[in-house]
Structure 1
Amino acid sequence: MEVETLVHILQELIPGKNAGGSLRFVPDLGTLPVGRIGVAVDPTPENIQTAVERGIDLLITYHPWTGEATEIVNHANLRLLALHGNWDSAPAGILPELVQACELREVAERDGVMIGTTETALRGLIEVCQRTLELTVVPYFGELRSPVRKVGIYLGSGFLPHRRAVWETCRAQGCDTLLSGELTMAALRFGTEHQLKLIDLGHSAAARAGMNKFRRLLAERLSDHCPVDFLDGLYSCNYFTSYSILDNYSAAFTESDDLEMGPELFSFIEKME
């Protein structure tokens, strides 16, 4: 398949402002034809190895590649593309997929938080998340039988202390439940104080359904050009414990001192997200 064909299809799937001018290939896609494409949430070493074994020459991921399995990537001339924020709010992207699965109504974006109404109980919403994201365990805070009427969704590390503005937005908008990732003691304390129920989708797992949909849409458009595989390896749900690029910071963060965490690591994460 010619490069121009792929780029045109990607521009259709991620139109206008969602592309944000940041749809960049690593290394540059160049002019070499694409014979097989892999789609994954994370460029884990396992996904990279599997891609090479399957003869994939372009791996499209949600999270950006940060040097995992560099020798394999270079030796196989594997090309990588990270969609990340580009695919979050695209018409068929991560957030729309979660909103649809949760059957939210009157949906609006407020300061980066997708907010909508529903009529269910916390137990029901957790079960929807389990089915949609293919999870067996979903950490949560709140009474399972308590009603859920207004939900906020924030992708990524919305429960980390430096995301307090997300919690305040949910509170100001009258949300009773927040779906995000990286649950911490700070978020639990806020939830207790303000009666805000919390569901931890997992930093990477939250993107699984949306990236699966991306693979299906891409495969439909490329059916006459090349096969598209889905690779299901994920980073840990909490980047602070095993995301490889943060190895040097692993000793800096524990749940017991999450409120006292210095700004260095959080500013680093901001750049990654």
Structure 2
Amino acid sequence: MHQEKQGAQVQPFLDKDTETWSYVVYDKEGGSAAVVDAVLNFDTVSGRTSSKGAEEMVAFIRDKQLTLEWILETHAHADHLSAAPFLREQLGGRIAIGDQICQVQRIFRDVFNLEREFLADGSQFDHLFKDDDTFKVGELEVRVMYSPGHTPADMVWLIGDALFVGDTLFMPDVGSARCDFPGGDARQLYQSARKILSLPEETRMFMCHDYPPKGKRDYQFETSVGIQRRENIHLREGVSEEEFVEIRKKRDACLSMPKLIIPSVQVNIRAGQMPPAESNGTVYLKVPLNQL
């Protein structure tokens, strides 16, 4: 599945338990790399974590003799725990997210009644990017695009010619992300999608998740801006904002909460760190009753 194309080199990693795609993005062998949306494995029955998936990414980075510069999150995920701290411990690099994470931290600080020491200022991350910021991963130019709607803090990363859209858009036959989480907004998502789809049509687009229509195809991770414009079932050209809002309203009313939303959000608003251990040395995650 390794992509040998001009521009950004992209290696995908699929976590089937959460149907999440993570990526190592790099300029060249022996060069510089970024990781996008890394997954920490979590067993809901036992409460045990595992770095098995992230270890595969570490092995790839070492094999290619890459320097890990950035560990990027498209948003505070509600369906998997982030492996960002593990990657930083193993390989270095800086953990980054969009600066609107503070909105999400404020919302869920109250939902989970977090400890007084928890600050909703984004300081848990090494860096907060703003809309339209630019930076480099080795020889690759990176542009940051604010893309709210699924959550208030979603960001899209354009790394060279490769666009990582998080949960804003899915493969064309799946459509778009839900907008019914706290702080979500279907109108914002529509505007975010239109901004993304205004990029050159040859721009490669990489999914954070894929939910293949049952029995119709295997998991996929890459499409393009042009294909999305023509074929996305929710956001293709010609779909109006009002039509999209109605589509999402009906669709979201039928969706259950992600099975890992409660542990995931508590960890991911902390940049992947666990809550502080209690007096017995054990770390606990809270379950707020009748809140989500």
TM-score (ref. length: structure 1): 0.30
Structure with larger Rg: 1
The structure with the largest helix share of the pair is 1
- If asked which structure has higher relative contact order (CA below 8 Å, sep 6+), I would say 1
TM-score (ref. length: structure 2): 0.29
The structure with the largest strand share of the pair is 2
